[in-house]
Structure 1
Amino acid sequence: MTAGRTLYDKIVDAHRVRDLDAEGRQVLLYVDRTVLNEYTSPQAFSGLREAGRRVWRPGAALGVVDHVNSTAPDRGAAMPDPGGQRQTAYFAENCRDFGIELYDVLHPLQGVEHVVMPETGRVLPGMVLAAGDSHTTTYGALGALGFGIGTSDIEHYLATQTVIYRRLRSMRVTVEGRLGLGVTAKDVVMALIRQIGAAGAVGHAIEFAGDTIEALSVEGRMTLCNMAVECGARGALVAPDQTVFDYLEPRVAGLGGRWREAVEAWRGLRSDPDARFDRDVRVDAAAIAPMVTWGVSPDQAAPIDGLAPDPAAAADPAVRRDLERALAYMGLAPGARLDAIQIDRAFIGSCTNARLEDLRAAAAVVKGRRVASRVRAMVAPGSSLVRRAAEAEGLDRIFQDAGFEWRQSGCSMCLAMNDDVLAPGERCASSTNRNFEGRQGVGGRTHLMSPAMVAAAAIRGRLTDCRDLATEA
């Protein structure tokens, strides 16, 4: 009897053009859609120009300016630096010449690519999406397979609507139990990364399952799938359900009377009951507390009431050296209380945590309070649509009254490619996805956490359990 198939295998099989080896591990894969940005696309377009090739399906691509642009409230079309200006000008030229729709920095739908694509209805269950950004895994929240590709693959995709793809092994991550007060999807995925390590899912596609996952909103699922890449996964999926269909219905145009037909087809997008996974991981939701990182990798994390590790306790010399280096860079002593670490900056934004749900959670913490005097705090909504929706709810006033800067949309301080950067030695509570050395600026020190935890840190001026502020309200 043939074993059942996983959701991952079903999507790959449905998009396989042909096998490229005898085992069927490497395939030519049809890709439904892509999103392009000004930072990772230039070489791909240059390659097309030099070869005299056209884009095979221009309508299947969207261009978004998000990496190098300013998020200043009064920004204009000009970029903060000459290099960024050249990148965006060439990007606009490429989109125009190859017939690709572009959301430039002044477009009313501009935003961070992985926020824009789902909110504009471009990601549907069962699709394959490939793009020049590793956090393309975000789209798994809608039951679509998304993954990052390199510049040469972008060129290949644009010319052929396909990529050469190596099948991944499958990992099921089952999360069960009720999340406690103040515990979010960000804490769940940070706890998972801590549990299995930064390389724990290398070579795998993760499927998230369990009653905890089913109870999450689509936005929460996006956070999970977005950060799955931080434990090495090259794909992440959640089986689409009614929560997904309700999210999509007002966003999808053109299906008309075929909506019900589409939903019925999408209901079949799930792993078979007898599907075999190469690895199974279980996470106890009830055991998760609000998480923060103390080091320079997303797996170097602990509950907010924890301590920085003592390298002397590590038996493996290589592990000991890694811990020593991380603590030295972060300016922390072994055994330091995480909830006593003072911060200089607080940032809420990025493709991980800058959707409307995230802003609501942070605003609930800061409402009626003030940012600590030594902290510069800022919010960069994930898209212009999110920004306008937040303003319609009055969230912008809550943040500004508390002392936050209310910025425009863009990748912003998630990475040091624009004018939102940390100075050497500055310490930031951040809702982003990576805390690598220099990620937010040369010598900058990043602590990852949920938006509510960033808000709490901004108010207290130090890393803080957001549940403490909830009990004070």
Structure 2
Amino acid sequence: MPKTMFDKIWEEHLIRDYGDGFGLVFVDRQVLQELGAPWFDPLKKRGLKVPYPGYNFAVSDHSPQTLFAGRRAQELRVTSWTRAMRERSAEHGITHFDIDSPYQGISSIVAGELGIALPGATVTVYDSHGCTLGATGAAAWASGAGEVTQTLATQTALMRKPPTMRINIEGQPGAGRFELTTAKDILLHVIRKVGAGNAAGHAVELAGSAIRAMSMEERFTACNLGVELGSRTVQVAPDETTFAYLKGRKYAPAGANWDAAVKDWRALPSDAGAKFDREATLDVNGLEPQISWGISPGDVIGISERVPDPREAASAQERSRVEGALSYTGLKAGAAFEGTPVDFVFIGSCANNRISDLRLAAGLAKGRKVAGSVVAWVIPGSQLIKKQAEEEGLDEIFRTAGFNWGEPGCSMCGGQGNGFTETLKPGMRAVSTISRNFPNRQGRGSITHLASPAMAVAAAVTGRITDVRKI
């Protein structure tokens, strides 16, 4: 019987079937961030040690300062959370990429660039964006507090097998300028059409010509945004692009083991004729740059479209929701969205702060200046990305243009940086490359518009929401 990619991975890792869809599965890799330090404590109370320390990794990404502190002294980025994770990791023999590590960065960035997440592997991440790592063909999902402790103690996870869904994305976006309509734009469009939360609990596979044309870094962005569909996991089938990216990574197989692994990985893609519980197909041919207008990742329009009018809503409930979103964001129904003034621009987060994102943003920022009414931050995703960007001179391009260049971390994504103080002030309007725009996401009373790095630069240098193709 033909099988989906997720079915193959589930069957390979299933230890015990408890019935009613529940199973105990082996976890190949667990990735923690420093806020997970307290979940080691139940082990100590029970006199337990982590049985597979080599299968567990920790990073410091949520609480460290990302701006200014790194220029003075790295030790100023230490927080009570990073100290706690350092102590727990040392006690149990777990590798911890702390603030002084050359591999420090955001968990879902680090696990990808180091080859911790591999095709066919099960990977749990103590972060809601763990499904980012499904870009490698891994089955990666976010874990909660109790799940972290269980995996530390047993290297297993108890979960209900999720239903499967394939989203086929076909066509070539843009009009001959693909670099200005990016993977971020494609997935924002997908969330708009499928609906935020409308793939709740599913193991989603992204497929189709638009996905196959993406680089690995773009696939990471695509899988990152996929969680906003409500997905349990999001995956892209491994192919030559995947293998080329992973070869030589720190934790990837090498030599004969590499050859054997690739042979196995080639059998992972869903079989022809495999049945998914749900399937959707979207055409993104000619898609223009996208941006969010409201307070849900599904509140998205093309940059040339006007702000939605609640009177055109399909139901009374949707009308009320749109009215609430307009009230929060201060936008006028039916008005042009382009031209709306902005106060802040943030280029960062595990959605869009890889080297390709920074190259694109720097290329557009070069020779331009951030508008006087705007504060703009660029936060690289990891120390490896920061180092490469600085070797290429991207940091100087950003600084010359008036952007602030920072240290790796979650930063302004949810206001976590510097002990949860890197936030926007009430009423500030931001264009951000993050993946969530809920009320208060980047600070109490702040307004967030989701966009690609290209659109973020356009907003920064013009001081207003602008079609990047016009600059």
TM-score scaled by length of structure 2 = 0.95
Q: CA–CA distance in 1 between the matches of 2:74 and 2:87?
A: 15
Residue deviations 1:316-358, cap 9 Å, x none? 2221221111111111111121111110001100001000011
Q: Is the 8 A contact 2:147 2:157 kept in 1?
A: yes
Residue in 2 that maps onto 1:274: 273
Q: CA–CA distance in 1 between the matches of 2:80 and 2:244?
A: 41
Residue pairs, 1:57-72, within 5 angstroms? 57-72=52-67
Identity in percent:
43
Within the candidate set 38, 42, 48, 1:53 is matched to: 48
* Residue 209 (structure 1) aligned with residue 207 (structure 2): yes
Amino acid at match of 2:454: A
Residue in 2 that maps onto 1:457: 459
* Residue 368 (structure 1) aligned with residue 364 (structure 2): no
Amino acid at match of 2:432: S
Secondary structure of 1:338's counterpart equals: coil
Secondary structure of 1:408's counterpart equals: coil
Q: Is the 8 A contact 1:172 1:280 kept in 2?
A: yes
Q: CA–CA distance in 1 between the matches of 2:384 and 2:68?
A: 15
Q: CA–CA distance in 2 between the matches of 1:8 and 1:422?
A: 40
Q: CA–CA distance in 2 between the matches of 1:361 and 1:409?
A: 18
Q: Is the 8 A contact 2:69 2:76 kept in 1?
A: no
TM-score scaled by length of structure 1 = 0.95
Q: CA–CA distance in 2 between the matches of 1:109 and 1:233?
A: 28
Residue in 2 that maps onto 1:326: 325
Residue in 1 that maps onto 2:31: 35
Residue in 1 that maps onto 2:163: 169
Q: CA–CA distance in 2 between the matches of 1:254 and 1:290?
A: 38
Instruction: Measure how far apart 1:255 and its partner are.
Output: 2.2
Mean CA deviation greater in 103-112 or 70-79:
70-79
Amino acid at match of 1:206: V
Q: Is the 8 A contact 2:253 2:261 kept in 1?
A: no
- Number of residue-to-residue matches in the alignment: 461
Q: CA–CA distance in 1 between the matches of 2:355 and 2:206?
A: 23
Q: Which runs of 5+ in 1 are unaligned?
A: none
Q: Is the 8 A contact 2:14 2:23 kept in 1?
A: yes
Secondary structure of 1:340's counterpart equals: coil
Within the candidate set 94, 105, 118, 2:99 is matched to: 105
Residue in 1 that maps onto 2:186: 188
Residue in 1 that maps onto 2:395: 396
Q: CA–CA distance in 2 between the matches of 1:30 and 1:55?
A: 14
Residue deviations 1:208-260, cap 9 Å, x none? 11111111000000111111110111111111000010001121455222222
Instruction: Measure how far apart 1:283 and its partner are.
Output: 1.2
Residue in 2 that maps onto 1:445: 447
Instruction: Measure how far apart 1:307 and its partner are.
Output: 1.4
Q: Is the 8 A contact 1:348 1:378 kept in 2?
A: yes
Secondary structure of 1:339's counterpart equals: coil
Q: Is the 8 A contact 1:72 1:407 kept in 2?
A: yes
Residue deviations 1:64-119, cap 9 Å, x none? 01001101244345567xxx832222211111111111111122111011111111
Q: CA–CA distance in 2 between the matches of 1:19 and 1:261?
A: 29
Residue in 1 that maps onto 2:287: 288
Q: CA–CA distance in 2 between the matches of 1:428 and 1:272?
A: 43
Residue in 2 that maps onto 1:243: 241
Seen in structure 2, the aligned counterparts of structure 1 residues 326 and 78 have a Cα distance that, compared at 3 Å, is farther
Residue in 1 that maps onto 2:22: 26
Instruction: Measure how far apart 1:43 and its partner are.
Output: 3.1
Instruction: Measure how far apart 1:313 and its partner are.
Output: 2.2
Q: Is the 8 A contact 2:60 2:82 kept in 1?
A: yes
Q: Is the 8 A contact 1:68 1:79 kept in 2?
A: no
Within the candidate set 144, 151, 159, 1:157 is matched to: 151
Q: Is the 8 A contact 1:78 1:85 kept in 2?
A: no
Q: CA–CA distance in 2 between the matches of 1:340 and 1:196?
A: 28
Q: CA–CA distance in 2 between the matches of 1:315 and 1:221?
A: 33
Secondary structure of 2:346's counterpart equals: strand
Q: Is the 8 A contact 1:422 1:440 kept in 2?
A: yes
Instruction: Measure how far apart 1:170 and its partner are.
Output: 1.0
Q: Is the 8 A contact 1:187 1:290 kept in 2?
A: yes
Q: Is the 8 A contact 1:132 1:149 kept in 2?
A: yes
State the Cα RMSD in Å.
1.4
Q: CA–CA distance in 2 between the matches of 1:354 and 1:50?
A: 39
Q: CA–CA distance in 2 between the matches of 1:203 and 1:35?
A: 21
Secondary structure of 1:220's counterpart equals: helix
Seen in structure 2, the aligned counterparts of structure 1 residues 303 and 254 have a Cα distance that, compared at 3 Å, is closer
Q: CA–CA distance in 2 between the matches of 1:455 and 1:179?
A: 20
Amino acid at match of 2:181: V
Q: Is the 8 A contact 1:371 1:461 kept in 2?
A: yes
Within the candidate set 87, 111, 114, 2:108 is matched to: 114
Instruction: Measure how far apart 1:59 and its partner are.
Output: 1.0
Q: Which runs of 5+ in 2 are unaligned?
A: none
* Residue 433 (structure 1) aligned with residue 427 (structure 2): no
Q: CA–CA distance in 2 between the matches of 1:361 and 1:187?
A: 14
Seen in structure 2, the aligned counterparts of structure 1 residues 171 and 361 have a Cα distance that, compared at 3 Å, is same
Q: CA–CA distance in 2 between the matches of 1:87 and 1:394?
A: 33
Amino acid at match of 2:404: E
Seen in structure 2, the aligned counterparts of structure 1 residues 233 and 79 have a Cα distance that, compared at 3 Å, is farther
Q: Is the 8 A contact 1:135 1:226 kept in 2?
A: yes
Residue in 2 that maps onto 1:13: 11
